């Protein structure tokens, strides 16, 4: 039945893309879902209007329109190696698309294609690990997980594509023991320079992970470090940790070093603080973020108790739980840097994954309560990412038009 509905999603996609997309999600493992999901991601990127001049998509559209494609593949690599570029992905995408189109909508369609592939693969992981039929509690976890890999993130495709690639690569490398996916982690800085700071951390963890868990439990040191970093995250101010040693020791250089030095400066710390004080959006978001942190804290100790009650070899759970703790330890420190809170999303993905995996075994009141608690604390993020933000930067026609209408509407678009 689900296969038929998913196939119907392909037909519905042509007439009303949103309906086809929703229908296809009823069987995320089917080939038809993969086709619709990734096609919808491309259409989503193509349908961005670029009307909001403050959005990343508007800036990238203008940059693409002004891109000189005589700056070919070799020239872009040379600029990166000489330290004049912070990362590669954006310009390589610009160069590839400029070979056959100068329409920024087409460029964003290909950005959507690449993001959509890894967003879909991430959802496949969630469904595979959950092994649970849809009910109210599983639906809550699913909508939170989707929000964290939502197609809305195509708007800021540099960091967000790197983030979904990082999640997928960490899962394959650490959980599935597929060492070839070390390459996936290593290339994330080419998507966004910010990943340079985290890649060494995750690679080191790969070599020391077995120290943190056994087939019976997770070592206590991770819990102590988790509590310390969680507590510190409430008091650390923006840029309270200096990253100057990175450029002083030539760990990073050129455009990346200059950018990190700027972001880690007192001026940026003051700017971030002023934004928090003067922005209603950030003021409201702050309190929901507090709620998410409290949710994370109680979830960790509930998970600890649930795993303790298991019998037999618990390795698949202790391994994932150790990774979750490690990711939060790092992320709670990273929040002290501007935009560092984005690394919390990686930890959230693995936490939701573990909760869904445990929910497939335990359907008792404790885990149901923590899942229900997740709904209000993530509600602001769910509403903004899945509903508010898309209405701000997508073409109005996207909500009711068919595929051909949307394609024709943007065919001759110029900035």
User: 7 pLDDT band (50/70/90 cuts)?
Assistant: low
* Residue closest to 322 by CA, chosen among 300, 299, 343, 344: 300
If asked whether residues 384 and 411 sit together in one domain, one would say no
d(Cα 330, Cα 166) in Å, to the nearest integer? 15
Question: What pTM did the predictor assign?
Answer: 0.92
Kindly state the average pLDDT of the residues 374-392: 94
Residue 272 is predicted with a pLDDT of: 52
Domain count, the chain: 2
If asked whether residues 135 and 266 sit together in one domain, one would say yes
The rounded mean pLDDT for the chain is 86
Lowest mean pLDDT among 220-229, 240-249, 254-263, 369-378: 240-249
pLDDT reading at 248 higher than 70: no
pLDDT reading at 1 higher than 80: no
If asked whether residues 15 and 56 sit together in one domain, one would say no
User: 258 pLDDT band (50/70/90 cuts)?
Assistant: low
Q: Residues in the chain, how many? A: 415
If asked whether residues 411 and 353 sit together in one domain, one would say no
Lowest mean pLDDT among 214-228, 257-271, 308-322, 394-408: 257-271
Residue 257 is predicted with a pLDDT of: 58
If asked whether residues 317 and 415 sit together in one domain, one would say no
User: 279 pLDDT band (50/70/90 cuts)?
Assistant: low
Q: Phi, psi (5° rounding) for residue 349?
A: -60, -45
Q: Which long-range contacts (CB under 8 A, 24 or more apart) does 207-213 make?
A: 209/174, 209/319, 209/322, 209/323, 209/326, 212/322, 212/325, 212/326, 213/315, 213/318, 213/319, 213/321, 213/322
Per-residue H/E/C for the chain: CHHHHHHHHHHHHHHCHHHHHHHHHHHCCCHHHHHHHHHHHHHHHHCECCCCCCCHHHHHHHHHHCCCCCCCHHHHHHHHHCCCCCCCHHHHHHHHHHCCCCCHHHHHHHHHHHHHHHHHHHHHHHHHHHCCCCCHHHHHHHHHHHHHCCHHHHHHHHHHHHHHHHHHHHHHHHHCCCHHHHHHHHCHHHHCHHHHHCHHHHHHHHHHHHHCECCCCECHHHHHHHHHHHHHHCCCCCCCCCCHHHHHCCCCCHHHHHHHHHHCCHHHHHHHHHHHHHCHHHHHHHHHHHHHHHHHHHHHHHHHHHHHCCCCCCHHHHHHHHHHHHHHHHHHHHCCCCCHHHHHHHHHHHHHHHHHHHHCCCCCHHHHHHHHHHHHHHHHHHHHHHHHHHHHHECHHHHCCCHHHHHHHCCCCCC
If asked whether residues 276 and 286 sit together in one domain, one would say yes
d(Cα 64, Cα 58) in Å, to the nearest integer? 10
User: What count of other Cβ atoms lies within 10 Å of the Cβ of residue 160?
Assistant: 25
d(Cα 151, Cα 41) in Å, to the nearest integer? 6
Residue 74 is predicted with a pLDDT of: 84
If asked whether residues 202 and 140 sit together in one domain, one would say yes
Q: What is the pLDDT of residues 62-117, one digit of tens each?
A: 999 888 777 788 888 888 888 778 889 999 999 999 999 999 999 999 999 999 99
Please state at what angle helix 266-278 crosses helix 280-308, rounded to 10 degrees. 100
Indicate if the alpha-carbon torsion angle 85, 337, 390, 160 is positive or negative. positive
If asked whether residues 41 and 57 sit together in one domain, one would say no
Terminal Cα-to-Cα distance of the chain (whole angstroms): 45
Residue 121 is predicted with a pLDDT of: 96
Kindly state the average pLDDT of the residues 147-168: 96
If asked whether residues 3 and 122 sit together in one domain, one would say no
User: 230 pLDDT band (50/70/90 cuts)?
Assistant: very high
If asked whether residues 80 and 90 sit together in one domain, one would say yes
Residue 33 is predicted with a pLDDT of: 86
- The residue range of the domain holding 138 is 48-394
If asked whether residues 253 and 124 sit together in one domain, one would say yes
Lowest mean pLDDT among 3-7, 111-115, 173-177: 3-7
129 token code pair? 């690990």
Rg over alpha carbons for the chain, rounded to the nearest Å, is 22
d(Cα 118, Cα 168) in Å, to the nearest integer? 7
Kindly state the average pLDDT of the residues 229-255: 65
**Beta bridge mates, 48:** 394
pLDDT reading at 135 higher than 80: yes
Q: Which residues are within 8 A (CB) of 58 and not within 5 positions of it... i.e. 6 or more apart?
A: 50, 51, 52
d(Cα 103, Cα 412) in Å, to the nearest integer? 7
pLDDT reading at 307 higher than 80: yes
Residue 273 is predicted with a pLDDT of: 57
Q: What is the pLDDT of residues 314-352, one digit of tens each?
A: 999 999 999 999 999 999 988 776 566 788 999 999 999
Residue 263 is predicted with a pLDDT of: 56
If asked whether residues 277 and 161 sit together in one domain, one would say yes
């Amino acid at each position: 039945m689900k296969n038929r509905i998913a196939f119907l999603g392909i037909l519905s996609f042509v007439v009303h893309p949103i309906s086809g997309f929703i229908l296809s999600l009823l069987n995320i493992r089917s080939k038809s879902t993969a086709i619709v999901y990734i096609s919808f991601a491309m259409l989503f990127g193509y349908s961005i209007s670029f009307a909001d001049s403050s959005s990343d998509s508007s800036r990238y559209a203008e940059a693409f329109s002004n891109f000189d494609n005589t700056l070919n593949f070799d020239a872009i690599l040379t600029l990166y190696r000489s330290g004049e570029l912070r990362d590669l992905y954006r310009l390589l995408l610009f160069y590839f698309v400029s070979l056959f189109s100068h329409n920024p909508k087409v460029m964003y369609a290909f950005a959507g294609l690449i993001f959509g592939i890894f967003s879909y693969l991430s959802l496949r992981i969630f469904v595979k690990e959950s092994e649970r039929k849809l009910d109210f509690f599983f639906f809550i976890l699913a909508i939170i997980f989707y929000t964290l890999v939502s197609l809305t993130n195509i708007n800021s495709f540099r960091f967000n594509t790197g983030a979904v690639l990082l999640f997928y690569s960490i899962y394959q490398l650490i959980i599935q023991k597929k060492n070839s996916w070390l390459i996936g982690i290593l290339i994330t800085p080419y998507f966004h320079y910010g990943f340079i700071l985290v890649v060494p951390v995750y690679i080191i963890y790969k070599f020391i992970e077995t120290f943190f868990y056994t087939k019976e439990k997770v070592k206590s040191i991770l819990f102590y470090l988790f509590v310390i970093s969680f507590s510190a995250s409430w008091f650390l101010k923006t840029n309270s940790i200096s990253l100057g040693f990175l450029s002083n020791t030539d760990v990073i250089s050129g455009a990346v070093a200059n950018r990190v030095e700027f972001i880690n400066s007192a001026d940026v710390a003051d700017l971030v603080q002023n934004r928090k004080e003067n922005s209603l959006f950030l003021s409201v978001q702050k309190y929901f973020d507090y709620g998410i942190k409290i949710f994370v804290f109680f979830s960790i100790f509930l998970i600890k108790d649930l795993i303790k009650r298991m019998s037999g070899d618990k390795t698949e759970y202790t391994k994932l739980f150790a990774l979750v703790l490690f990711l939060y330890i790092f992320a709670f420190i990273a929040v002290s840097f501007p935009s560092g809170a984005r690394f919390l999303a990686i930890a959230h993905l693995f936490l939701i994954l573990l909760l869904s995996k445990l929910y497939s075994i335990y359907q008792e009141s404790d885990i149901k309560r923590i899942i229900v608690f997740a709904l209000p604390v993530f509600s602001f993020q769910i509403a903004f990412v899945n509903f508010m933000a898309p209405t701000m930067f997508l073409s109005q026609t996207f909500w009711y038009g068919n595929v051909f209408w949307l394609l024709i509407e943007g065919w001759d678009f110029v900035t």
